[in-house]
Structure 1
């Protein structure tokens, strides 16, 4: 493999903040000089910026043996270029001091200075690059390569400064200021391709995908004079911004074949395959990267990508082993931000598997590392991860606090994509706590923000949230529209996890509308998707939805089997809300079988969760079931008391705008009145309910009310005949 070299940067000896941009500019220009001709493998500036944050590396003028050893462990580079610069005299001249270090021996291989004018900065770097290439035994660049190098640099001094300052902000996790600076750089020199390409990256980090696509297209259109490798990179990133992952993968494959020792090209290829849902192809590429020589094969990013690719294939064991290996390798190399990334990825997996205590530990560890590196986006993501674990446990108030903290950070740094995500998360919490209007408001904010950044997948997520809130309000047609629009988008974009969520939402609407067959098909398909991608908790929820449909048909034995399958999936997880829902359904089957004590025990456990979490939906369902059980197994006094409780549930559900729950409670109350010696009131109650439910499209309630009235009439006719 080629020798690798990392240009770390240059210390500003004058201390003048107006000249700080030169450190970034000199580094990028010198990297371009050294990479010309492809004889050296120069390391990407993004990797170097990460390493400098991890090692808190500020002094670039003198690097000791210990520091060089750390750099070698972190980056795996053979050589390092660093130094300093200063302004000299009244008629400003710039002196650039350049040093070349061997990271393994710790020796200084070369040191020299070049001096030039402010107007001749490019020539200054060109001379320094020529001397470095000579000392490295690398041939001089050809005339053609010199032209490519020249076109890879801004021709306008003001544009060069703004571009370098924008790059510096972007590498310091400040995409908001980077965007502003890069927009000014584009205004100063509209024909410079790399300003547009870097501005596209800033837009991506801020969540504005369409803006990123537009800038990436401009960069591509202006890239004809760049070197072949640089031109292909610009094109690949344009295809990425257009979500044309297959074309992006083709280009990265060509780059990787041409430069097989370039790990970053291989990782980019694996990522493009992953985004294109070609997870097995991604794993094949990553297997090839593992055959590269040391230290390339020890890069923890290989295992990180392997874990990501194994997840959608349902291979959670491989994913977990990969994340743990990535963390171990990152620790060994001192790459603390990669340690944080591995810990956070592992935490997401642990949450999906319901191992929340382990997830908490990983999230807290990642958060501390992000804080130490001043990575605010990472800190916010860790807050979100912690909130999700709290939500799974049913601690909704604490989860809400974490989401609000994460929202504040994302708003501060301008990451609008994540701002929208936090609005969606807060909508989910609001609905659990019974605040339907709050859930609608937050979901609408999420949708508006996703629309602002033109994120189709995000809009699909927000529409699922809107569908959930609209369903609770009893607005079935509007809810169905949201779920169907979300489903169409997910299928177009290949987002299978979210597709299954939309199918589940659609299934509950179809059930309420009385279309049992279509609801069954929707829930079955959701379950199959969750099985295929290995997502256990949502699969359990889909199984419970199927159990509910079976209970609607009075197929109690089959319903029990579905509930047991769901409980089996939930047994190794921590999801008390899903467990409570399973117990309510199981109580219904036990009541139908006359097993009243067992039914009471299960519904009591569900009520305990509702009281602890303040989950209104679970509270309404469990109290409704408790009253029904008491009415079936109790005396006259207990039945009257149960009727009062059902009436209270119906009133609370109506006040909270949980329309379907209110209709369910009224149905149970009417049935109870019919069977408790008050047939006239029961009949009137159920006939009114039929009319109300029909007007709102709840045909399932109409069907159930009609069935209860019909059963009573049949019993009366039978008594007359007898």
Structure 2
């Protein structure tokens, strides 16, 4: 690379020539392919020997599209000046051809830029079967007319190796190239496959076929064809052979090797800016951002017009994006946009607007980002690049999703899918299907979300795109977790983490770490969950991804709640909620409101819990997040239970259950079933039925490794057994619950299970064990600030003392009654009052 930079600085600029293509004077569409064929063949002929720099057909095509230049045998002076600015060409070859009576007449002129003076003209006649000879004769005559020396025999052999074997293979090849250059990859693939069948040994056909497969998103097939092209390229001219080798490394995503080859190309041909730009691109994609900075600096020192090429600014913007330097990304992309608009290069402007939109999106400036993407979409559509146009619509959808406009975002993703489907792009289809999976997830339909994400993953696997497969796994795993599938969800997430680290995609690594933290939470490993959330959060901060950082901060707060550190948890939830509101992420804000409601309940602030849950419910309904709506209803049902409003509690929980089931939200549905069973038990109805439901729920949790909630379910079953008078069985069930609670790091579950189990111990006349257990629960809940658990533990202590006829029972129960009533925990207050009535009747003083 250093040698390439030195070579570029010291470059002696060769004269450059561009073959612009030729007008079909007959106007017969079936002979239209000759326009591209004659241009490509003449470009090859003139490039032989390397005396001049011949601008590639791909670059000429790009400029023709941007400037909307027709095939013509004459050009206006302003068009010639733009060509000089665009291509850096000193000479252009224009002209026409006339097919007639089995022959072809070719008339060419060479114009000097930027003035347009004619410096040479040639006319030749030949037949279509002798097309190669016709072009060879024309090329030799042009060389003589321009005063260039003829190619050596070795150069002639190397140039011929670039030709397809027959005119028919050539026709199929150039028609395929034309489709490639207009982004019609599906049609290009069909033509190029026929060309490869007609000439299996052509490296240039194989290389073009590789590009068609890659354009359709089949990276694996693209790499296979690139490898075949490389194997066949031994007899090609040095520049073309090295270019095919570099494309092989690109297809394999071997960016260091691609950088090395492009560096060599730039060393050997330092006046060809294309090699420098491709070197910068390989360095950027490969993560060698510092090397890319140096390459871009050298590109800017090239003599005009190359040093002012807007694609250098695009490269700087892409490198800034890789470094998460959004300020530089916007500045460089605006420079590219300005230069592109000045010379009407619409594709450069579209790419610049796309990069501006990306930076604005990632910094939370959503409305300007959306405007940039829509402008870029229109330009890509005008250029015929429907794949990129669909991608711009996707990004518009992302901005709407970030604002929690879920239905509008869904419509954009569906519109993008409609655009991309006819192109045959597997990657484009996978992207839109995956995005729709995200929308279904946020709307709460986990079953449909899982189906869509699994489809997207299968398409990425088929395409060989491991990076986007990884990203899809980071989305699919948490959906499975929300459905209660902890084992399978965890397996997918762990695989995603390995793949993200292998590919070096830091954002996907952060997502996978954050999702893995959720797995650990389900498994009751909250200290490890906190560590993983914070690791993910650190990466998000490093990448300056504010919104996802807030999600990960909230995840760490959730783990802190379970670990009993409520003050720090509240602080982090509040910070994350403020960020979500600032960036307009209502779906994310709603989830944090639900978390704050549950934290407030644990802290004994039932009024705040109700307020947060009402806000959670209202926000979920506003954005159409149906699962969050069901979760808010579940929480409100639990708060009504705590308020001793059993009718409202049952009503809300049944509604939550009814909403959760069709969404595939099994985890929420099972939670609702267990709370409903507890309400039935509180009403002292059907203890046998409660026992059955609690056992089923416990088995469901157990099969998924969710040990904390399994312990809760077993505890309800133990209470149901106690209500049936089956004390030994209740004791055994409570012991099982305690064993699981100890394995779980959720302080509240440990406290509640231990305290409630103590009431069963005392029923079996194990007084000492019961007192020790309940006292630990009281001390631990007080230390952790878990007020609700503390009230429950003290109520259990009062029950134990009452069974022991301990005089302290009166004081304990009066204290619980008074505090429960003042905090709005009417159910605890009623339980304490009922126990006090027993105290009074028993005469315990």
Per the normalisation by structure 1, the TM-score is: 0.93
1:96 maps to 106
Within 5 A, what are the aligned runs for 1:137-286?
137-286=147-296
1:696 maps to 704
1:709 to 735, 739, 753: 753
Q: Given that residues 587 and 600 in structure 1 are in contact (C-alpha distance below 8 angstroms), is that contact kept between their aligned partners in structure 2?
A: yes
Give the C-alpha shift of residue 679 in structure 1.
14
Structure 2 unaligned runs (5+)?
A: 1-12, 712-740, 742-747, 759-773, 775-793, 809-845
Within 5 A, what are the aligned runs for 1:62-141?
62-88=74-100, 90=101, 92-141=102-151
Q: Which of these two proteins has the greater Rg computed from alpha carbons?
A: 2
1:354 to 357, 364, 377: 364
Distance of aligned partners of 1:676 and 1:284 in 2 relative to their CA distance in 1, 3 Å threshold: farther
1:34 maps to 46
Give the C-alpha shift of residue 371 in structure 1.
2.2
2:438 maps to 428
Q: Given that residues 630 and 655 in structure 2 are in contact (C-alpha distance below 8 angstroms), is that contact kept between their aligned partners in structure 1?
A: no
Distance of aligned partners of 1:392 and 1:131 in 2 relative to their CA distance in 1, 3 Å threshold: same
Is the deviation greater in 166-175 or in 254-263? Answer: 254-263
Give the C-alpha shift of residue 4 in structure 1.
2.7
Distance of aligned partners of 1:652 and 1:57 in 2 relative to their CA distance in 1, 3 Å threshold: same
1:481 to 474, 482, 491: 491
1:718 maps to 797
Within 5 A, what are the aligned runs for 1:393-432?
393-432=403-442
Give the C-alpha shift of residue 546 in structure 1.
0.7
Q: Given that residues 671 and 682 in structure 1 are in contact (C-alpha distance below 8 angstroms), is that contact kept between their aligned partners in structure 2?
A: no
Distance of aligned partners of 1:602 and 1:670 in 2 relative to their CA distance in 1, 3 Å threshold: same
Aligned mates of 2:576, 2:447 — CA distance in 1: 31
Q: Given that residues 403 and 583 in structure 2 are in contact (C-alpha distance below 8 angstroms), is that contact kept between their aligned partners in structure 1?
A: no
Aligned mates of 2:293, 2:578 — CA distance in 1: 30
Give the C-alpha shift of residue 675 in structure 1.
9.3
Give the C-alpha shift of residue 203 in structure 1.
0.5
Q: Given that residues 686 and 709 in structure 1 are in contact (C-alpha distance below 8 angstroms), is that contact kept between their aligned partners in structure 2?
A: no
Q: Given that residues 427 and 442 in structure 1 are in contact (C-alpha distance below 8 angstroms), is that contact kept between their aligned partners in structure 2?
A: yes
Aligned mates of 1:109, 1:646 — CA distance in 2: 87
2:72 to 60, 73, 80: 60
Aligned mates of 1:314, 1:678 — CA distance in 2: 61
SS of 1:38 mapped into structure 2: coil
Within 5 A, what are the aligned runs for 1:295-694?
295-567=305-577, 569-570=579-580, 572-593=582-603, 600-628=610-638, 636-637=644-645, 640-665=647-672, 689-694=697-702
Give the C-alpha shift of residue 670 in structure 1.
7.2
Q: Given that residues 42 and 136 in structure 2 are in contact (C-alpha distance below 8 angstroms), is that contact kept between their aligned partners in structure 1?
A: yes
Distance of aligned partners of 1:413 and 1:683 in 2 relative to their CA distance in 1, 3 Å threshold: closer
Is the deviation greater in 568-577 or in 501-510? Answer: 568-577
Aligned mates of 1:282, 1:254 — CA distance in 2: 15
SS of 1:82 mapped into structure 2: strand
Aligned mates of 2:574, 2:334 — CA distance in 1: 33
Aligned mates of 2:238, 2:171 — CA distance in 1: 25
Distance of aligned partners of 1:567 and 1:278 in 2 relative to their CA distance in 1, 3 Å threshold: farther
Give the C-alpha shift of residue 677 in structure 1.
10
SS of 2:129 mapped into structure 1: helix
Give the C-alpha shift of residue 199 in structure 1.
0.4
> Deviations 1:605-624 (Å, cap 9, x if unpaired)?
43332112211232233334
Aligned mates of 2:67, 2:16 — CA distance in 1: 20
Q: CA RMSD in A?
A: 2.7
Distance of aligned partners of 1:582 and 1:118 in 2 relative to their CA distance in 1, 3 Å threshold: same
Q: Given that residues 527 and 559 in structure 2 are in contact (C-alpha distance below 8 angstroms), is that contact kept between their aligned partners in structure 1?
A: no
Q: Given that residues 674 and 681 in structure 1 are in contact (C-alpha distance below 8 angstroms), is that contact kept between their aligned partners in structure 2?
A: no
Distance of aligned partners of 1:11 and 1:522 in 2 relative to their CA distance in 1, 3 Å threshold: same
Distance of aligned partners of 1:153 and 1:462 in 2 relative to their CA distance in 1, 3 Å threshold: same
Q: Given that residues 311 and 534 in structure 1 are in contact (C-alpha distance below 8 angstroms), is that contact kept between their aligned partners in structure 2?
A: no
Aligned mates of 1:593, 1:510 — CA distance in 2: 23
Distance of aligned partners of 1:141 and 1:574 in 2 relative to their CA distance in 1, 3 Å threshold: farther
SS of 2:266 mapped into structure 1: helix
SS of 1:311 mapped into structure 2: helix
Give the C-alpha shift of residue 647 in structure 1.
4.1
Q: Given that residues 671 and 708 in structure 1 are in contact (C-alpha distance below 8 angstroms), is that contact kept between their aligned partners in structure 2?
A: no
Per the normalisation by structure 2, the TM-score is: 0.80
SS of 2:200 mapped into structure 1: coil
Aligned mates of 1:343, 1:700 — CA distance in 2: 50
Aligned mates of 1:674, 1:261 — CA distance in 2: 84
2:725 maps to none
Give the C-alpha shift of residue 598 in structure 1.
5.5
Is the deviation greater in 72-81 or in 2-11? Answer: 72-81
Matched length: 717
Aligned mates of 2:277, 2:507 — CA distance in 1: 24
Distance of aligned partners of 1:64 and 1:582 in 2 relative to their CA distance in 1, 3 Å threshold: same
Aligned mates of 1:473, 1:244 — CA distance in 2: 38
Distance of aligned partners of 1:573 and 1:292 in 2 relative to their CA distance in 1, 3 Å threshold: farther
